[in-house]
Amino acid sequence: MQALFLRLKSDRSLSALLGGTGLLERANDKAAFPHVTYGRTSAFNLETGADNDNDQLVTFHVWSKTQGEAETRLIMDSIRTRLDSAAFSIGSRAQTRLSLEFAEARYDEDLAVHHGLLRFRALTQESA
């Protein structure tokens, strides 16, 4: 996760959209809008259903209070551009590649915010 956050924090266009401090591991009641939070991570093997650290789902949540969903979609597009098909080296023996699995933007009437959700598959393969 640290590598993902570093990649997103280094993106100037995303930082501009978020006002510089809107990338949070967890939001609190005082968090400024818009912001992005890290969501649930799942590790599993699709064939066996067993836990597998080499195949994970990583989720990001986008939160915005602007009229319409344009801001939410711009932030989601920026994250997608930065992470989809990205490759990260993990140690000297493994590489992790990301692919976008799911994206959705909707208005949450209960919270009165626009909520975007991006779910990436992170597949790690050992180097030869």
Summarised one tens digit per residue, pLDDT across range 60-91 is 999 999 999 999 999 999 999 999 999 888 66
48-78 in b/e form (b: 16+ CB < 10 A) is eeeebeebbbbbbbbbbeeeebebbbbbbbb
Q: Which of 46, 21, 41 is nearest to 31 (CA)?
A: 21
Q: Which residue stretches of the chain are H helix?
A: 2-9, 12-18, 70-83
Q: Which of 38-47, 79-88, 111-120 has the lowest mean pLDDT?
A: 38-47
Distance CA 96, CA 106 (A): 30
pTM listed for this prediction: 0.86
